[in-house]
Amino acid sequence: MKTRDRIGTVLALAAKAMAILALTAASATAQTIVYQDNYDNDGIGTNTGIGGGAVSINTSPVSVEWAIGGWIDDGNLTYDPASTSWGGTSGGSYSLNSFSMPGGFKLEVTYEAVSSLCRFTMGLMEEAGAEDRTAYAALATSGTTSYKGIYFNAFAYDSQDRFPNAPGLQLADGSAVIQLSDAQIRDTGVHTLVLEVDAESNWSYSIDGAPATTGTIAGGFDLTKRYRFITRNQTKVLNNIRSVTLTSSGPADANLPDVDAGVDMVTWSGQPVAMDPNVVNNDTQVPQRPLSYLWTAEPNGIGDPNLEVEISGADTENATVTVTKAEPTGDVTVVEMTLAVTLEGKDPVTDTMTIDVYDDACVAALDLGLAELDPTDIDGDCRTAFTDLALLALTWLDDYSLTGPVAK
């Protein structure tokens, strides 16, 4: 074999080996949504999504939950400065639960910044147990704290120049706030933040799909800890969070269940759909620990009073979903169903499927190409009946032919 051929063979084998290693690494890593809230006007402490609700806290005094003002769920997570006191202009929220992300995380937040004359923050805070409120409030009022975490400042306006941190990506390392980047800043409006940190403490963030700004955290980011999702607002501005999704990366746990939410379905208004997921309990403990189930829905018409989504048996494996349109919409409504399956003592494993909901069964059949409109079906309801005969009778023997020459 010639030297050139040998080199080519070695390179080909090396490329194949690298591909195998990449596939092995991918199969050994689990991507799990641990926290997700789209906010649906049911109170800040309630989350029909994944990972539980949140709490709104005052920063003066730090130990008191809001009586008035603070963060509320009004269809978004909105800062409501209802109080006229200083406490009503400065406050935050954090998720009731903390989350394990041993291999890194991806945080996606869609937010609306109403005014740049404010401090508006979102990110992750290391769990501090009973001291969560104190640690969080210290961050919200001083900028240097024993708090640890990573967060994004949409704006960091302060008329008295008391805060050392600025707009952009920030790291709190337990003693100081460190500016990681201010490369991506946006003005007021609705924007989407994507923030990622991997197992090697490499970070990236992007606003509205822009090319990611990247870097590495000197000294590392401690992924052995658990973290809470946090928000902060200062000044009387109705800033809000539209949605948040926190995805954990980590070594695949062989005990976690396999979850397949089932095939995508088509139905029509008022017609129930029986969920048919495929779930396997892989727990090696004897006896096996039980699995718990939670189905949630996110229709594309969420918030529309003319659309009702009813989930019967939402906490069972085989739930039934009925989507009802108060009035025909003339198009298909897509409902995304998420199944979260939790092994006792573990974070949930999720999967999704979709349901296309048409106005009626006839429209569904025609749109899917499962039926053709017959010429005798005058009213277009997918059947020939007396109503068609009545419509035909209205024009029976009407003559539409010309009675003489006409100009061209």
Q: How far apart (Å, rounded) are the C-alpha atoms in residues 242 and 331?
A: 25
Average pLDDT along the chain:
78
Identify residue 16 by its one-letter amino acid code: K
- pLDDT tens-digit profile of 333-364? 889 899 999 998 887 888 899 999 999 888 88
For the chain, which residues make up each domain, given as ranges? 30-251, 258-359, 364-391
- What percentage of the chain reaches a pLDDT higher than 70? 72
Asked if pLDDT for residue 292 goes beyond 90, the answer is yes
Q: How far apart (Å, rounded) are the C-alpha atoms in residues 223 and 201?
A: 9
Q: How far apart (Å, rounded) are the C-alpha atoms in residues 266 and 357?
A: 6
Cα pseudo-dihedral 36, 39, 43, 48, rounded to 10? -50
Domain 30-251 falls in which CATH fold?
Jelly Rolls (2.60.120)
20 CB neighbour count, 10 Å cutoff? 10
Q: 307-312 and 291-299: which strand pairing?
A: unpaired
- pLDDT tens-digit profile of 93-104? 888 888 888 889
Name the DSSP class of 398.
-
Asked if pLDDT for residue 204 goes beyond 50, the answer is yes
Q: What is the pLDDT of residue 180?
A: 92
Q: How far apart (Å, rounded) are the C-alpha atoms in residues 244 and 246?
A: 7
Closest Cα partner for 226 from 244, 241, 246?
246
- Answer for the pair 92, 71: CB distance below 8 angstroms, yes or no: yes
Higher pLDDT, 75 or 320: 320
Residues 6+ apart with CB under 8 A from 391: 378, 379
Domain 258-359 has CATH 3.40.109.10: no
pTM equals 0.58
Rg of the chain over CA atoms, in angstroms? Answer: 28
Asked if pLDDT for residue 26 goes beyond 50, the answer is no
Asked if pLDDT for residue 293 goes beyond 90, the answer is yes
Both tokens of 60, joined, read 């003066």
What is the pLDDT confidence band of residue 384, given thresholds at 50, 70 and 90? low
- What percentage of the chain reaches a pLDDT higher than 90? 30
Both tokens of 50, joined, read 């994944």
